[in-house]
Structure 1
C-alpha cells in the first residue's frame, strides 16, 4: 500500500534553505520526491512525497518511511527559514504551511488520516508549533478553508495584496489540535490533513487588475455559485500578471478543463500549482 504526502513550505527564493530541506528528504531512499513545484512570485514550494505503509500480521499500521522523512524536512525548514523575514504573493500562516496526506493504490483514507494525526502530534510536540487538523484527520471533518478563514489566512497584510512577516496575535483565540496556543513568530502555524486526491491548478491572467482577478475567481468557485468542489483565489503573480489559483477537491468530477473554460478568455496559459 502506498501513501502520498504533499508538503507546502513558505520559501522558494532561498536556495540554501531549499538545498537543506531536499538533503533531509534524501536521507531515506525509501521515500521519493515525485514532484516539486517552486513559485518565485508566491515565495512558496510544494513537494509531493510517496512511500509505502507497513502493517503487522493483524493488519494494524506499524509505520511508513514517510514519517521520518517528513519530520526531517520540517526540521530543516524551521532551521533555515524565518517567517518574520518572509514576503510573497500567496497567503500563508507558517513556514511549514500545509501538510496533506492522500491514500494511494489500496490504502484507505482512514490510514492517511492516522498518519496525519501522528505527524501532527510529532510536529506539535517536537517543534512547539500550533497544529490544526482538517478534513479526515479532524474529529468532525472540519474543512481546511473554514479553519484558514477563522485564522485570517486569506487577509493580505502588506500593500493590500501581499503577505509579509507575522502580524497576528501571538496567543491564538482558537485552540490548536496539537502543540501550544502560543505562536512562534519565526515559525507560525501548520495545517495538517488527510483527504482523497486533490489537484492544484493555476490560470495566469494577462492583467494587473487584482479586483477583476478576484471577481473571476469568485465566479468560478463553489462558494461564489460557480463550479461545485472548486475553491479559488485571485492573486498577484509577478509584476505584470495576476492568477486564479484553483483547488480541485474532486478532480475526477470537476477537472481542469471545466475550470479553464470560465476564465479562458482572459488567461494566457495554465499550470499545475501549489
Structure 2
C-alpha cells in the first residue's frame, strides 16, 4: 500500500469576502486560493474544505505521501501569507496565527514518527521561507507543556507579542519576533482528531457550561471534566441561529463519538435544553462511525450487518445531517481515499474484466486470487441463505438463530474480498524483490519473500475454515428453498481451501528452512482435510433436508 499522511491545516479566514486574482487571471476568494495551492501540489489529494463564518476559520483536509503533504502545506502557507491579516481578524474559535495549526496524521503505511518528521521538516521550511515563529505540539512537542494545543495557544493572538518575549515560550523554529499580519503557527503530529459539535437550542453560556462539565480540562485542576482526551467550549453559530458545544475528540478509541453525544444529551436534559443534531467538521475515520453503530445496535437490540446501513444509522442517531447533507463518500476518509485507489484493485473490476484479467498472458492474478474470489462467493451464499430466511413469517421462530449466523458470513465475505488483491500483491512484491535479489545476490531476502508468498494462501485457508460451524448450522435451519445455494457454498469454500493448499505447496518447495517447510506443510494438509470433511458433512446434511 502507498504511504499516506493526512494534513489538516486550519487557516484564520472563513468568511469568503476578500477576492484575489489567481494565476489564470480570474477572481477567487482567499479560501479558494488556498485550496487551489493545495490541490495543485503534485501528489496531494484535497479531500475537504470546511469554512465557518462565525469562527472565521477554514479547515482543509488533504492526503498524500509524506513529502507531498509537506509541500502542499508549504504551498498553502505561501499563498495565505499575503492574503490574511491577523490584525483585522476576529472569530469565535481560539487562534494565534493566520495558518493557526498544521497537524500531520498517519493514515496508511506510515508511523507516528514519520508524521513527527513531517512536522519538523515543514516547520523548518516555513521559517526559512516566511520567517515566522513556529511551535511544535502533540507527538512532535519537544517540551511536555507544549503537547497540548490549548496550552500552546493560551492567550491567543492578542497575547502573542508579549509571549514571544518570554524565554520559556521561545518558538521551536524561526525568530522569537512578532509578525503582526501572521502571528504564529503550531505544527505537530497526532492521532486522528474528530472535530465534533453538538447543536443546542440554548444560549452560548449554557452551551459553554455543558462544555466545562464534559471536557477533560473541566473548570479547573480541582474540577476535572467527565471525558478523557476531549477538549470543549460553547459558542453561538450565528449562521444557523443555534448554540453548539464544540469538541475536539483527541482519541476516539478512548472516548468514542457516541459517548460525547450521549453525555451532552444527558447534561442538556438536566438543564431542560433540546439537542437538535450534531455536526462533524471536516472528515472522520470509518472506525469512529462503526464504533457508534455498534453501540446503538447493541443498546437498541438492532440487527444490521451492511456497512452502508450502519453508517446511515449513525447519521440518523447523531443527527449529522442537521446543518447540511452528510455524504459518507465525502466525509469518511477511507471512502474518499478509496475513490482515488479503487481503479487499481481487482475487486473493483467487473466480473467480466476480472475473468479476462485472469485469462490474460500474465502470472497475476492467478490461482490465489481466484481461490479468494471463490471463497468470498461461498461466504456470500451463506449470508444470502440467512437473509432469505430471516424476517419471513414462516421462519419467525428462527430469527434469533439467523441474527447470530448471518454476521459471520457477511464479515468473512468482506475480508475474503480483500484477499483477492492480497494474493496478487504478494506475488508482485515477490517478483520485484526477486529482481532486486538478482542484482544484490541476497538469498536471505529471497527466502523471506517466499515465506511471505506462503503466508497469504495459508491465511486464506485459515479464514475459510472458520466458516464451517456456521455453514453446518445454516444447512439445518436455513430456508429449504435455498438448499442448492448452500451446496454450492460448501463446494466453493472447499475449492478455495484446495486452491490455497496448492499455492502453499508450490512455494514451499523452494524454501530452505526445513523446520518451516514441515510445519507449514502439516498445517496446510490439516486445513485441506478439515475443509473436505466439513464440505462433505454439509452436503450430506443438505441431501437429508426436505
TM-score of the two chains, using structure 2 as the length reference: 0.44
The answer (yes or no) to whether the contact 2:201–2:275 under 8 Å persists in 1 is yes
Bigger RCO of structures 1 and 2 (CA < 8 A, at least 6 apart):
1
Q: Which has the larger radius of gyration?
A: 2
Alignment of 1:27 onto 2:40: yes
Aligned to 1:170: 161
Q: Which residue of 2 aligns with 1:124?
A: 127
Are 1:238 and 2:229 an aligned pair?
A: no
User: What TM-score, normalized to structure 1?
Assistant: 0.85
Between 1:216-225 and 1:230-239, the stretch displaced more is 230-239
Q: Which moved more, 1:129-138 or 1:262-271?
A: 262-271
Q: Secondary structure at the match of 2:77?
A: helix
Deviation readout 1:235-261 (Å, 9 max, x if unpaired): 222174321111111112212211111
Match in the other structure for 1:220: 214
Measured against aligned partners, the alpha-carbon deviations of 1:185-205 in whole angstroms (never above 9, x if no partner) come to 111111111011111101122
Q: 1:127 to 1:259 in 2, by over 3 A?
A: same
Aligned partner of 2:311 in structure 1 is none
Stretches of structure 1 lacking an aligned partner (at least 5 in a row): 54-63, 154-165
- Following TM superposition, where does structure 1 have runs of at least 4 consecutive aligned residues deviating by more than 4 angstroms? none
Q: How does 1:165-204 map to 2 (within 5 A)?
A: 167-168=158-159, 170-171=161-162, 172=164, 173=166, 174-204=169-199
Deviation at 1:114, TM superposition (A): 0.3
Shift of 1:178: 0.7
Matched, 1:43 2:38: no
Structure (1 or 2) with the greater strand fraction: 1
In the aligned structure 2, how far is the partner of 1:88 from the partner of 1:250?
A: 26
SS at match of 1:233: strand
Rounded Cα–Cα distance in structure 2 between residues aligned with 1:22 and 1:147? 26
Aligned equivalents of 1:169, 1:22: Cα separation in 2: 27
Structure 1 counterpart of 2:278, from 241, 245, 270: 270
Q: More displaced, 185-194 or 235-244?
A: 235-244
Q: Secondary structure at the match of 1:260?
A: helix
Shift of 1:169: 5.1
Q: Which blocks of at least 5 consecutive residues in structure 2 are unaligned?
A: 18-28, 219-224, 283-546
Instruction: Measure how far apart 1:263 and its partner are.
Output: 1.9
Find the counterpart in structure 1 of residue 11 from structure 2. Answer: 9
Q: Secondary structure, in 3 states, of the residue corresponding to 2:216?
A: coil
Partner of 2:276, secondary structure, is coil
> Is 1:133 aligned to 2:127, yes or no?
no
C-alpha separation in 2, matches of 1:211 and 1:22: 34
1:144 equivalent in structure 2: 149
**Partner deviation per Cα, 1:169-192 (whole Å, 9 max, x = no partner):** 535122010111111111111111
Residue correspondences, number? 249
1:100 aligned residue: 103
Per-residue CA deviation, residues 71-94 of structure 1 (Å, 9 max, x unaligned), is 111111112111112221111111
| Residue pair 2:49, 2:58 contacting (<8 A) in 1 also | yes
What is the root-mean-square deviation in Å for CA atoms of aligned residues?
1.7
Q: Which has the higher helix share?
A: 2
Report if the CA contact (8 A) 1:218-1:226 is conserved: no
Shift of residue 124 of structure 1? 2.0
